[in-house]
Amino acid sequence: MKETIVLETTRLLLRPITLDDNAYILAQLNDPGWLQFIGDRNIRSLEEARTYIADKILAHIEKTGQQTFFVIVRKDDAEKKIVGQCGLFEREGLDKKDLGFAFLEDYCGNGYGSEAATAVLAYAEKKLAITDICAITAEENIPSQKLLNKLGMTYKETITLPNIDGLCMYYEL
């Protein structure tokens, strides 16, 4: 049986995504912040969200052999509703693991991003020996830029990447 990796912070639990998390994925991919800063993935139904999880997220985990993507729940929420996601990704055009995070609009601005990303970065370094990490964000996404700076990442340059519209601000740890 495969070990289920759960990361824990003061206020959050980060756990692997499952196909049953499709309602969260449907909500996240249609959240105003996601649409503005990341882009429309044209996911409009629970079944499309389930396919997205299988084809994009679980397939990536299977390909790399590393659990590097987590959904986030608040410890104090009895229903354990997912409020966001955080993980490391292999992205075309980048030679380092890309730190990514997103939260549903109602949960932004509470420090969850910093807490979750710190846990993912520590896990990557200690358990997976991954230290060569970068991040990208849209030029207009000031909250993400502030978070990346808080995490100790340094802005290096503005780049273009395959399959991403517009310019990306590129950061390194």
In sequence order, which residues have a C-beta less than 8 Å from that of residue 53 and are 6 or more positions away? 17, 18, 19, 21, 22, 25
User: For residue 42, which amino acid is it?
Assistant: N
Could you tell me the CATH number of the domain that includes residue 111? 3.40.630.30
Domain membership of residue 82 as a residue range: 7-131
Residue 148 lies in a domain: no
Tell how strand 97-103 and strand 133-138 pair up. Answer: parallel
Residue at 139 is within a domain? no
The mean pLDDT value of the chain amounts to: 95
Q: With respect to residue 153, please indicate whether it lies within any of the assigned structural domains.
A: no
In a domain, 167, yes or no: no
pLDDT higher than threshold 50 for residue 82: yes
Q: How high is the pLDDT of residue 137? A: 97
- pLDDT of residue 2 exceeding 80: no
Q: For the segment 70-79, what is each residue's pLDDT rounded down to a tens digit?
A: 999 999 999 9
* Interval 97-118 mean pLDDT: 97
Q: What pLDDT does 1 receive?
A: 41
pTM of the shown model: 0.94
pLDDT tens digits, residue range 128-164? 999 999 999 999 999 999 999 999 999 999 999 998 8
Does pLDDT of 3 surpass 70?
Answer: no
Note whether residue 154 is domain-resident.
Answer: no
In a domain, 62, yes or no: yes
**What is the distance between the alpha carbons of residues 116 and 120, in angstroms, rounded to a whole number?**
6
Domain-embedded: residue 146? no
CA distance 117 to 11: 13
Question: Structure tokens of 61?
Answer: 């985990």
Distance CA(14)–CA(9), nearest Å, equals 8
Domain total in the chain:
1
Q: What is the 3-state secondary structure (H, E, C) of the chain?
A: CCCCCCEECCCEEEECCCHHHHHHHHHHHCCHHHHHHCCCCCCCCHHHHHHHHHHHHHHHHHHHCCCCEEEEEECCCCCCCEEEEEEEECCCCCCCEEEEEEECHHHCCCCHHHHHHHHHHHHHHHHHCCCCEEEEEECCCHHHHHHHHHCCCEEEEEECCCCCCCCEEEEEC
In this structure, is residue 33 part of a structural domain? yes
pLDDT in tens, 19-63: 999 999 999 999 999 999 999 999 999 999 999 999 999 999 999
Pair of tokens at residue 169: 């601000």
